Chains A and B, each alone.
Chain A
Amino acid sequence: MAEPSLRRDGAWVGASVPRREDPRLLAGRGRFVDDIALPGMLHAQFVRSTEAHAEVLGVDLSEVRAVPGVVAAYSAADLDLRDITALLDRPATEFVPTAMPVLARDKVRYVGEPVAIVVAKDAYAAEDGVEAAIVEYAPLEPVVSDLGALAEGAPLVHAEAPRNTLVDVSLFATEGIDAVFAAADTVVEVRSKTGRQNALPLETRGVVAEWDDRDEQLRVQTCTQVPHQVRTVLAQCVGLDEKQVRVTVPDMGGGFGQKCVVGREEIAAAAAALRLRRPVKWIEDRRDALTAAFLAREQRYAVRAAFSASGEILALDADVLCDMGAYSCYPFTAGIEPLMASAEMPGVYRIPAYRVRGRAVTTNKAPTAPYRGVSRPQYVMVMERVMEKAARALGMDAVELRRRNVITVFPYTGVNAITYDPGSYLESLDLCEQTLRDEGWFSRRTAEDKVLGIGFACFSERTGYGSGAFAQRRMQVVPGFDISEIRMDLDGTVSVTTGTLSHGQSHETTMAQIVADRLGVPYDRVKIVQGDTDRITYGWGSFASRSITIGGSAVAAASVKLGDQLREIAAHLLGGDPEAAVLAEGGVRVGDSWLSYPEIADVAYLKAHLLPKGVGPGLQATASFDVAGDGTFSNATHGVVVELDPGTGGVEILRYVCVEDCGVAIHPQVVEGQARGGIAQGIAGALFEEVRYDDAGQPLAPSFMEYKVPTAAEIPDVRIEHLETPCAFTESGAKGAGEGGTIGAPAAVLNAVNDALRHTGIELDDTPIPREAIFRALEVSR
C-alpha cells in the first residue's frame, strides 16, 4: 500500500504528500454549495412531472403562490428561456438533435422532468409550495425500453426522431469481414445487457445564484465539473453577455460525470435569481437525484468474434444499442456512449477486421450523461466475455488466450484508426495472474467445493483526449486543450490557474507537486486556482481522465515559462548566461551566486528599471497544452476471486487484485484511491445498482432502499500493484488514472461469477447479476 511520504528521489512528483485539501475537509470546514448562505437568500424546489410521457395541458401555480413562505413560482411561460441543445456535426441520418427546455413546456418526457420552479423562504416552504401546484397532463403511451423504442409503431418521444433513434453511426466496416467470419474456425457470440445506473455523487447537484449590481454580474456558485460550459449556456439561455455571468465552483462532493453536463435546474434557479433580484439556492434532494438526475450505462450488445484454431482473434462484429433517455445532454450529446464504444471496443487486442454499429435511442427516462468510464465498463465486459467464451470453445486457458491477442508492440495503430502509445498490457496480465497464483487461489479453486471462481479483465483506458480525439466525435463543441496562467507575487510564491476541476481527485495537491518540481519550491506554498470563470480564461473542466494529462501539462508548461523569465532576470542581475541558470531551493543559481525568488520579484515589481531590456514588469506566464493525436492509454488487469452461496445465490468477493499502469504517478496514494473508488463503483454496477422502471415509466428506485449502493461490507480490500510506462508527451510522463477502476471491475466480477458456475453449463452475461439466476444455475447442477 502506498505510504505517505514527502519526496521521491528529491522530487515532489511521485511522493504521497499530505493533501492540501485535507485540513479543511476533515475539520468540517469545507465549503460545499449547500454550506453557502447569502443575505436574503431564497430556496427553490421544482414541480416535476408525475408522468413519463404526456402532453402538458396546463400549469396552474395560483395555489402555490398562496402557500405561506412562497415568494414566487414560475413555469416555462413565465421565464421564457432558450432551450439547451447539444449538437454533433453529422448528417440527419446519423444524428438527430433534441432541444432540452429548461422547464418543460408542452410535453413531458420522463417522470421527474422539471415543469415549474417554486421559490420560498426556506426549503420546507418551497416543498409545501410544490405540492400546491396543479398540472394537467394528457398521458401518452410511454417508451420504457430500448427495444420498445425501436419497435414498429412505437410512440415517438421526439417527433423529429423517427424510430426514437437519436444516433445511428457505423464507424467501421472492414472490407471482407463477412468472409472472415464464414471461414473462421470458431465464432463466439455474446449478447449482453447492462443496467441503468446513477453515478451518484454523495453530494447532490445544487446552485446558489445571485445578481450583483455593482459587478453587473449573475454570480453562480454551483458544483459543476464544467463551469465555462455552464457560463456559456446560462448566458445564452437568459440573454446576458458571457462576462455578465460568473460561475464559481466551491468544494464538490464528487461528480463522476453526472456534473459534467449542463443541468436545467441550475439555469432555472439562476433565472429566478435574476428575475427576483435576490439570491436563490437550489439543492437537489436525494429522491430527485435518484430519479430525475442524469443517468448512465444502459446498453445492449450483440457481438460476434471470429477466432483461428490457435486462438488468434480474426474479426469483431458489434452492435451497440444505448438507451440515452429523454434528451441529449450538453455538451456531449446522446452520441457520447455509442460513439465511445464504437471507437474503442477493440481495446487491448489486435483485431484485424472490425465492424460496428452504434446507436442511441431516446426513451421516457431521465437523460444520460457520461459516468466515469462512459462505455468502457460495458464494452470491456463484453470483450472479456468474448475471451472467456472463446477460451471455452477452443479448450484453452482464458488468460493464455488473452496473451495471444494483446498488443505487445508499440506504437500500434488499430483497425479502429487509433494509435496506441506504449503500455504494459501483457505485463499487467502476467503479474495479475501470478499474484493470484502466488496467493494460492488457483489451487483453492481446483480443490474447493464447486463454487469458487476466478475472473480477469485486461483492458486499456484512453486518457488525455485532446482536441484531435474529440474532433473525431464531431461534437460542435470540441473540448481538448487546457490553458494555465501562473503568477509569482512579491513574496516569491506562486498561484496557478487550471481549467480542470477537482471533485475529489486532489488537484490542489497534485498540480502543486508538478509546479513545485518545476520551480524548486515547496508544494504547500503553491496555490492552484480552479473553478472560476472570471479568473480562468477558458477551461473544459474535468472528465475523461484529462486533468493531470492535459491540465497538469499546461500547468507544467506555464511553470517552465515562468522559470525562463526568472532565469533571464536573475542572469541579467547576476551577470551570466540564462541558459546556464538553474532553478533551485526557491531561487535561481547562476554560477556561484544565487538570488531568491522574493529578490527577483522585488526587481520585477518594485524596481522595474533594473529589468533586462525586452522583459516587461511583473512575473507571469500563460501556456496551453493540447493533444493532437489519439491520447495516451493507461492499462490494467483486474483479477477477482468470488465465492457463490448455493443456498441463496449470494456472491462474496474473496480477493481483488488490480495491476495498473498509469505512467508516472504524481501521488501514488491518490492513484490508488482512484482505483479503489472506481472499483467500488464497478462492483456496484456488476452486483448491486440498477435504476428500474415499471411499464408506465414510473421509477422503481426512488430511495436508497431500492437503489443499493454497496457498503464497506460488500466492497473488498483491493491489492494494487503498480507498473509504470511513462507517457512520452505529457509534461510529467503521467497518464490519466481516474476511470480504470470502474472500467475493469464489472468484467472481472462477471467473469469470476461465470467461472464459479463453470460446472453448471449456464453462463450469465447481463448486469447487475441477479442472485436468483445464480441460485437457479447452482440448483440445477446439484
Chain B
Amino acid sequence: MKPAAFEYHRAHTAARAVELLTELGDDAKLIAGGQSLVAMMNFRLARPEHLVDITHVDSLRGITVDGSRLRIGALTTHREVEKAGLGVLSAAMRWVGHLPIRTRGTVGGSIAHADATAEWCLLAVLFDARIVAEGPSGVREIPASDFFLGPFTTALEPDELITELVFPHPLPRAALTEYADRRGDFALVAAAVSVETERVVLGGVGPVPVVATGRDAAAIAGALDLRDEPGISAHYRRGLVRTLVTRAYEEAGRG
C-alpha cells in the first residue's frame, strides 16, 4: 500500500504555508502529524499532488494562558496536551488512539479532519472554542458551532490553515467518555458534558457533533434522529448514548 506520487513543500512560517496553498490550489494538502492523512494516502484514498509540510512552523506550537483564553497552538500534539495538566482536555487524550499516535497527531490536524467522533471536535463544540484560521486575506476566528459543516467537512477555505484553538480559561467542570469494542478504536458513540452549562455534545450520532442540553440522558437519547446501520441498530446506539451521557456526568461530578 504505497502512496501515489506528490511534490513535497516545506513551510517554516504560517504565511509561507498560506502562500503555498494559494499557489498550489486544490491539489495541495497540509501535512502536520499525518496520522490520518498518511494512512489514507497509503490506501490511495487521498492523492494530493502537493503536500505542504507545516511541522516546522514553530509559531504554531505552544500552550499559553492569556487572561480568560486558553490558547493551544495548532501543532500541539495530543501527547503534549495529555501532559499539560489541562483538566478535561488532558483527561480526554487517553481516548485518542494510542501513545505513538498521540506523540505525532496534532490538535489542529484533528479539528481540520473533522471526524464527528473525534475528541477534539466534541471538546471544541462543548466549550464554544474558537478556531483561529489564517488565509490570504488575513486571520479570522471561527466559532466551533459554525465550524463543522458535514462529515469531514469544515468551514475552512482551501487556502487557510488553522493556527490555534482558543478555549475558555479556566475550563468548566466537564468530562468526555466513549464506547468502542477495543481500546484505541474510533468511538462508536462519544459523549462530552459540561456540568455548569449542562451542555451535552455527542459524537457518532450524526455527520457532525450533535448538541443537546440537560441531564436526562434517556430524553436526550430519545430525541435523536437515528437510523439502523449494518451491525449497529438505532436502538443500540440510543442505548449507548443514554449510558455514556450518564457516565460522563458522573465522571464530571467526581472531577
Asked whether any CB of A lies within 8 Å of a CB of B in the complex, the reply is yes
List residues of chain A with CB under 8 Å of any chain B CB: 123-124, 127-128, 131, 285-287, 647-650, 687-688, 700, 703, 705, 708, 710-711, 713-714, 770-772, 775-776, 779
The reply to whether the CB of B171 lies closer than 8 angstroms to some CB of chain A is no
Q: Considering the complex of A and B, which 8 residue pairs feature the smallest CB-CB distances, nearest first? A: A647-B243, A713-B183, A124-B2, A772-B236, A285-B1, A127-B2, A648-B179, A708-B182
Q: How far is the CA of A612 from the CA of B184 in the complex (A)?
A: 70
- B64: min CB distance to chain A, Å: 34
- Convert B222-244 into 0s and 1s, putting 1 for each residue whose CB lies closer than 8 angstroms to a CB of A: 00000000111101100110111
User: A123 to B2, Cβ gap below 8 A?
Assistant: yes
User: B239 to A779, Cβ gap below 8 A?
Assistant: yes
The reply to whether the CB of B99 lies closer than 8 angstroms to some CB of chain A is no
Q: A772-B232, A776-B236, A779-B239 are in contact. Are A650 and B179 (CB under 8 A)?
A: yes
B1: nearest residue on chain A (CB-CB)?
A285
User: A649 to B236, Cβ gap below 8 A?
Assistant: yes
B242: nearest residue on chain A (CB-CB)?
A647
The reply to whether the CB of B84 lies closer than 8 angstroms to some CB of chain A is no
Q: A128-B4, A647-B243 are in contact. Are A705 and B233 (CB under 8 A)?
A: no
- B36: min CB distance to chain A, Å: 11
Q: How far is the CA of A131 from the CA of B1 in the complex (A)?
A: 12
User: B182 to A287, Cβ gap below 8 A?
Assistant: no
The reply to whether the CB of B95 lies closer than 8 angstroms to some CB of chain A is no
Which residues of the partner chain B approach A688 to less than 8 Å between Cβ atoms? 181-182
Q: How far is the CA of A711 from the CA of B180 in the complex (A)?
A: 13
- B221: min CB distance to chain A, Å: 12
Interface size on B (CB < 8 Å)?
A: 27
Q: How far is the CA of A714 from the CA of B1 in the complex (A)?
A: 28
- Chosen A-B contacts, 6 in total, with CB atoms closer than 8 Å, are A124-B2, A124-B3, A647-B244, A648-B243, A770-B231, A779-B239
Q: How far is the CA of A643 from the CA of B231 in the complex (A)?
A: 22
- A27: min CB distance to chain B, Å: 22
Q: How far is the CA of A226 from the CA of B39 in the complex (A)?
A: 34
User: A128 to B233, Cβ gap below 8 A?
Assistant: no
A710: nearest residue on chain B (CB-CB)?
B182
The reply to whether the CB of B247 lies closer than 8 angstroms to some CB of chain A is yes
Which residues of the partner chain B approach A714 to less than 8 Å between Cβ atoms? 182-183
User: A775 to B2, Cβ gap below 8 A?
Assistant: no
A709: nearest residue on chain B (CB-CB)?
B182
- Convert B34-69 into 0s and 1s, putting 1 for each residue whose CB lies closer than 8 angstroms to a CB of A: 000000000110000000000000000000000000
Q: A648-B240, A649-B236, A779-B239 are in contact. Are A708 and B186 (CB under 8 A)?
A: no
Which residues of the partner chain B approach A775 to less than 8 Å between Cβ atoms? 236, 239
Q: A128-B5, A776-B236 are in contact. Are A711 and B183 (CB under 8 A)?
A: yes
The reply to whether the CB of B146 lies closer than 8 angstroms to some CB of chain A is no
Q: A648-B179, A650-B179, A772-B236 are in contact. Are A708 and B2 (CB under 8 A)?
A: no
Which residues of the partner chain B approach A710 to less than 8 Å between Cβ atoms? 182
* Among A650, A703, A772, residue most surrounded by chain B Cβ atoms (within 10 Å): A772
Which residues of the partner chain A approach B2 to less than 8 Å between Cβ atoms? 123-124, 127
Q: A648-B243, A714-B183 are in contact. Are A772 and B5 (CB under 8 A)?
A: no
Which residues of the partner chain A approach B183 to less than 8 Å between Cβ atoms? 711, 713-714
- B116: min CB distance to chain A, Å: 15
Which residues of the partner chain B approach A687 to less than 8 Å between Cβ atoms? 181
The reply to whether the CB of B185 lies closer than 8 angstroms to some CB of chain A is yes
Q: How far is the CA of A760 from the CA of B236 in the complex (A)?
A: 17
Q: A648-B243, A688-B181, A711-B184 are in contact. Are A287 and B236 (CB under 8 A)?
A: no
Q: How far is the CA of A293 from the CA of B181 in the complex (A)?
A: 25
Which residues of the partner chain A approach B231 to less than 8 Å between Cβ atoms? 770, 772
Interface contacts beyond A700-B230, A705-B185: sample of 7 additional A-B pairs, CB < 8 Å, sorted by A: A124-B5, A647-B242, A650-B181, A711-B182, A713-B182, A713-B184, A772-B233
Which residues of the partner chain A approach B4 to less than 8 Å between Cβ atoms? 128
Q: How far is the CA of A776 from the CA of B184 in the complex (A)?
A: 25
Q: How far is the CA of A713 from the CA of B184 in the complex (A)?
A: 9
B4: nearest residue on chain A (CB-CB)?
A128
Which residues of the partner chain B approach A123 to less than 8 Å between Cβ atoms? 2
A122: nearest residue on chain B (CB-CB)?
B2
B240: nearest residue on chain A (CB-CB)?
A648
Q: How far is the CA of A772 from the CA of B233 in the complex (A)?
A: 8
Q: How far is the CA of A287 from the CA of B247 in the complex (A)?
A: 37
Q: How far is the CA of A650 from the CA of B182 in the complex (A)?
A: 10
- A402: min CB distance to chain B, Å: 31
Q: How far is the CA of A710 from the CA of B182 in the complex (A)?
A: 7
Q: How far is the CA of A688 from the CA of B243 in the complex (A)?
A: 22
Q: How far is the CA of A714 from the CA of B235 in the complex (A)?
A: 26
User: B236 to A708, Cβ gap below 8 A?
Assistant: no
Which residues of the partner chain B approach A287 to less than 8 Å between Cβ atoms? 1, 43
